[in-house]
């Protein structure tokens, strides 16, 4: 028999984390010395260089190059970017609302009410372009190291090039999903020799560029760095595949709705470019591939990830002597996910108490199912974003964002409903893994994901959560151990295997409408749902027929799409994905109408919200005013006025 930790890789997390953070710290200093670290208040795309530091003496050997690569990772985990991941991916969604500690007239409240002012710093894209510039520095100077260091070859360079190209692509993907039309930057910016001003590319052009870049390097990416932290904390081939699947899914959705470049309604007073209003309002693009082609590519890359995950798991089982009896192992989809199961008939599956999946994924970090997550040690680099935005553990109160009552206050009587307004069912662990309820007397659903280090059952005799709908029962069942305010070491997860399952399900539901393929899509959703609803599938559950997912309720293409969207919401609350999911949903329709029916259930002024977000361009954020002022090649999203006293143009 196996121990309880049979499929949990033995990781000396603290030791390895300190090592990688030490490297990041060093590289950050080296980056500054090399002259390519920019001040956070500078506009990367427009600022006139003021530094006289030169780089000629830096790119001499592979150590310089490795330090620069680590600087790219360090930049992406700085808190100004961690905040962007949440603000851009969650703030406008139905997952969150303004907490009582935030003013009702400030940026957070206005953005949530669809009053997006281009003067808000939240829309500054400078930190993301800083990270892109770090990547471009490595890509520009990497070949020099081949010439300068005899121990560094072209074959050594290829996986590094793939790694940094993928990080750059990820940054551009965040930007294009948030702003729609953005500059696609492949040239490095030298502080002491040039001023860089670039125009925006259309959304489709950016997506095409991302895909072309990733396709060109995918086979060069590392498969195994030799240790868990780097396999999860650095770009691997699985991470490249995950990003490719995600971008193909987005581009397919864009094409499905026959979307086209932005319409420019009115030129701002700051706009000094050569484009005429007529040119800006009549742009049109011809798709070089079909939506079906892109959905199929998404499926193919998801399959590659799943197959590689199986190979890695089988290799681990054999290496550690876990295959009792030596019989051939047939791994199922559920075997690849971190588990909440308390018992298992399979000798190679770890058994544990409830909430093991949460503790592995968000507590310890670098779980088996993780594909890529940005590493945080809590000391040298602290993820203070989660206390600012989710829950302030020091003061025991909500951060800027909290969970809406409509999301957490009601329980869906069945997971087979297609009604809007419910998220969690009575057996779903994620309701209480996601929130911190009624802390310090506050009647609020505070976001606890990433804040909670561990979650456990209060009583070992209660092996399953049969009904978590009442507060008293949940208090008796669940204990939450929070991260301390002085050690916010939560990694930021970009991709994990459950998302790959749901990406594939979404693509299948869009590409096919026959029972065979929809059944396959349902299978992937069910495995994610089943993991967090073990009691629903417990043989002793007398209400299992009502508590478990049923294919017959989602046997149409439209209902399967709705199920995937709903399961993604349950699985990824607080992970910076929901707003992008809603935009992708709208893209496929070429209209915001159906998406707004989902979004507006959290609003009392839903009619006003629907009016403000009627145009597809309104789903994208405005360009920060300062960028427009400094760069004459940039244009504003025509929906949003650059007038500081107005939230939208009146003539749209």
Q: What's the rounded Cα separation, in Å, for the pair 426 and 171?
A: 38
445-447 vs 435-437, strand pairing mode: antiparallel
Contact of 70 with 24, CB cutoff 8 Å: yes
CA angle 549, 553, 554 (to 5 degrees): 90
- Residues contacting residue 310 through CB under 8 Å, at least 6 positions apart: 331, 336
Residue 573: is its pLDDT beyond 70? yes
Q: Average pLDDT, whole number, for the chain?
A: 84
Nearest one of 176, 73, 88, 125 to 576, comparing CA atoms: 88
Give the pLDDT of residue 606: 87
CA 223, 225, 226, 230 torsion: positive or negative? negative
Q: Which residue has the higher pLDDT, 444 or 376?
A: 376
Largest CA distance in the chain: 76
Give the pLDDT of residue 459: 62
Confidence of residue 504 (pLDDT cuts 50, 70, 90): very high
Give the CB-side neighbour count of residue 242, counting CA atoms within 13 A: 27
- Coil, strand or helix: which one is 224? coil
Q: What's the rounded Cα separation, in Å, for the pair 243 and 113?
A: 31
Pick from 112-126, 180-194, 368-382, 635-649: least confident: 635-649
- Using the structure block, give the residue that is written with the tokens 């530091």: 53
Burial of 226 (C-beta count, 10 Å sphere; 0-12/13-18/19+) = exposed
Using only C-alpha atoms, the chain has a radius of gyration, in whole angstroms, of 24
Burial of 552 (C-beta count, 10 Å sphere; 0-12/13-18/19+) = exposed
For 177-189, what is the mean pLDDT? 95
**What DSSP state is assigned to residue 478?**
E
Give the pLDDT of residue 342: 56
pLDDT above 70: percentage of residues in the chain:
80
Confidence of residue 461 (pLDDT cuts 50, 70, 90): very low
pTM, entire model: 0.89
Q: What's the rounded Cα separation, in Å, for the pair 506 and 521?
A: 7
Residue 206: is its pLDDT beyond 50? yes
- Residues contacting residue 276 through CB under 8 Å, at least 6 positions apart: none
Confidence of residue 322 (pLDDT cuts 50, 70, 90): confident
For 525-554, what is the mean pLDDT? 93
Residue 555: is its pLDDT beyond 50? yes
Tokens of 263: 């319409």
Confidence of residue 6 (pLDDT cuts 50, 70, 90): very low
The Cα-based distances of 44 to 125, 126, 197 in angstroms read 9, 6, 9
pLDDT digits (tens, 9 = 90+) for 405-452: 888 888 889 999 998 878 999 999 898 889 886 544 445 788 999 999
- Residues contacting residue 416 through CB under 8 Å, at least 6 positions apart: 549, 550, 553, 554
- Using the structure block, give the residue that is written with the tokens 């553990």: 393
Contact of 569 with 578, CB cutoff 8 Å: yes
For 134-141, what is the mean pLDDT? 96
Residue 152: is its pLDDT beyond 50? yes
Give the pLDDT of residue 638: 83
Give the pLDDT of residue 552: 97
Residue 349: is its pLDDT beyond 50? yes
The Cα-based distances of 480 to 338, 434, 435, 448 in angstroms read 19, 11, 10, 9
* 3-state helix/strand/coil string of 349-414: CCCCCCCHHHHHHHHHCCCCCEEEEECCCCCCCCCCHHHHHCEECCCCEECCEEECHHHHCCCECC
The partner residues of 478 in beta bridges, in order of sequence, read: 457
Residue 214: is its pLDDT beyond 50? yes
pLDDT digits (tens, 9 = 90+) for 71-117: 999 999 999 999 999 999 999 999 999 998 899 889 999 999 999 99
Q: Which residue has the higher pLDDT, 216 or 265?
A: 216
**What DSSP state is assigned to residue 105?**
T
278: part of which helix (H) or strand (E)?
helix 277-281
- Using the structure block, give the residue that is written with the tokens 């209400």: 543
pLDDT digits (tens, 9 = 90+) for 399-414: 999 998 888 888 889 9
Give the CB-side neighbour count of residue 225, counting CA atoms within 13 A: 19
- Using the structure block, give the residue that is written with the tokens 């145009």: 615
Nearest one of 377, 284, 353, 314 to 16, comparing CA atoms: 377
Tokens of 403: 């969970």
Residue 25: is its pLDDT beyond 50? no
Phi and psi torsions of 632, nearest 5°? -70, -10
Nearest one of 436, 429, 428, 426 to 403, comparing CA atoms: 436
- Using the structure block, give the residue that is written with the tokens 């294009």: 176
Count Cβ atoms below 10 Å from residue 12 Cβ, excluding itself.
Answer: 12
437: part of which helix (H) or strand (E)?
strand 435-437
CA 95 to mean position of chain CA atoms? 14
Residue 275: is its pLDDT beyond 70? no
pLDDT above 90: percentage of residues in the chain:
62
Give the pLDDT of residue 343: 55
**Helix 237-256 and helix 291-319: axis angle, to 10°?**
160
The Cα-based distances of 322 to 2, 335, 366, 528 in angstroms read 7, 14, 21, 25
Give the pLDDT of residue 277: 56
**What DSSP state is assigned to residue 425?**
B
Burial of 23 (C-beta count, 10 Å sphere; 0-12/13-18/19+) = middle
311: part of which helix (H) or strand (E)?
helix 291-319
Confidence of residue 197 (pLDDT cuts 50, 70, 90): confident
pLDDT digits (tens, 9 = 90+) for 244-274: 999 999 999 999 999 999 986 544 443 344 4
- Residues contacting residue 34 through CB under 8 Å, at least 6 positions apart: 53, 55, 58, 68, 137
Give the pLDDT of residue 479: 80
Residue 194: is its pLDDT beyond 90? no
CA angle 624, 579, 404 (to 5 degrees): 110
Give the pLDDT of residue 12: 37
Phi and psi torsions of 236, nearest 5°? -115, 175
Q: What's the rounded Cα separation, in Å, for the pair 302 and 500?
A: 6
Give the pLDDT of residue 274: 44
Q: What's the rounded Cα separation, in Å, for the pair 103 and 409?
A: 23
């Amino acid at each position: 028999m196996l121990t309880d930790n049979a499929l949990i890789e033995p990781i000396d997390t603290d030791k390895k984390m300190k090592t990688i953070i030490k490297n990041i710290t060093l590289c950050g200093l080296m980056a500054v010395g090399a002259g390519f670290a920019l001040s956070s208040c500078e506009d990367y795309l427009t600022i006139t260089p003021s530094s006289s530091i030169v780089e000629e003496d830096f790119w001499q050997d592979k150590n310089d190059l490795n330090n620069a690569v680590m600087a790219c990772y360090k930049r992406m985990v700085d808190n100004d970017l961690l905040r962007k991941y949440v603000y851009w991916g969650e703030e406008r969604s139905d997952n969150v609302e303004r907490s009582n500690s935030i003013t009702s007239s400030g940026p957070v409240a206005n953005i949530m009410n669809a009053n997006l002012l281009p003067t808000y710093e939240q829309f500054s894209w400078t930190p993301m372009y800083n990270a892109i510039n770090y990547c471009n520095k490595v890509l520009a100077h990497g070949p020099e190291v081949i010439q300068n260091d005899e121990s560094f070859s072209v074959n050594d360079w290829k996986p590094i090039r793939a790694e940094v190209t993928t990080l750059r692509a990820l940054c551009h993907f965040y930007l294009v999903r948030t702003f729609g039309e953005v500059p696609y930057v492949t040239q490095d910016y030298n502080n002491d020799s040039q001023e860089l001003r670039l125009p925006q590319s259309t959304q489709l052009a950016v997506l095409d560029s991302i895909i072309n870049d990733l396709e060109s390097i995918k086979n060069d990416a590392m498969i195994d760095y030799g240790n868990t932290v780097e396999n999860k904390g650095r770009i691997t081939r699985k991470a490249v595949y995950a990003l490719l699947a995600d971008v193909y899914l987005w581009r397919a959705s864009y094409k499905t709705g026959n979307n086209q470049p932005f319409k420019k309604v009115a030129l701002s007073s700051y706009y000094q470019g050569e484009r005429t209003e007529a040119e800006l309002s009549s742009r049109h693009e011809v798709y070089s591939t079909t939506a079906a082609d892109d959905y199929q590519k998404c499926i193919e890359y998801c399959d590659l990830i799943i197959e590689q995950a199986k190979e890695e798991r089988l290799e681990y089982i054999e290496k550690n002597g876990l295959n009792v009896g030596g019989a051939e192992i047939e791994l199922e989809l559920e075997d690849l996910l971190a588990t909440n199961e308390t018992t298992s008939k399979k000798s190679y599956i770890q058994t544990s108490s409830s909430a093991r999946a949460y503790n592995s994924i968000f507590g310890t970090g670098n779980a088996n199912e993780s594909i890529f997550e940005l590493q945080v040690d809590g000391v040298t680099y602290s993820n203070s974003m989660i206390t600012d935005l989710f829950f302030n553990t020091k003061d025991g109160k909500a951060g800027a964002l909290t969970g809406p009552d409509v999301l957490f206050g009601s329980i869906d009587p069945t997971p087979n409903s297609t009604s809007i307004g419910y998220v969690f069912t009575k057996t779903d662990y994620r309701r209480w893994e996601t929130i911190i309820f009624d802390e310090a007397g506050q009647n609020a659903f505070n976001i606890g994901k990433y804040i909670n280090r561990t979650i456990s059952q209060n009583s070992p005799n209660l092996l399953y959560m049969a009904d978590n709908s009442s507060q008293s029962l949940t208090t008796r069942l669940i204990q939450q151990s929070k991260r301390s305010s002085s050690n916010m070491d939560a990694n930021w997860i970009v991709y994990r295997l459950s998302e790959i399952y749901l990406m594939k399900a979404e693509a299948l539901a869009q590409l096919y409408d026959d029972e065979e393929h929809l059944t396959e899509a349902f299978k992937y959703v069910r495995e994610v749902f089943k993991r967090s609803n073990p009691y629903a599938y417990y043989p002793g559950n007398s209400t299992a027929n009502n508590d478990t997912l049923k294919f017959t309720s989602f046997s149409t293409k439209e209902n399967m799409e709705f199920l995937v969207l709903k399961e993604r919401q349950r699985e990824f609350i607080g992970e910076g994905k929901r707003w992008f999911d809603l935009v992708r949903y709208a893209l496929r329709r070429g209209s915001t109408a159906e998406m707004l029916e989902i979004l507006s259930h959290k609003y009392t002024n839903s009619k006003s919200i629907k009016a403000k977000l009627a145009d597809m361009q309104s789903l994208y954020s405005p360009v920060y005013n300062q960028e427009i002022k400094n760069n004459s090649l940039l244009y504003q999203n025509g929906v949003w006025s650059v007038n500081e006293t107005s939230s939208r143009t009146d003539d749209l």
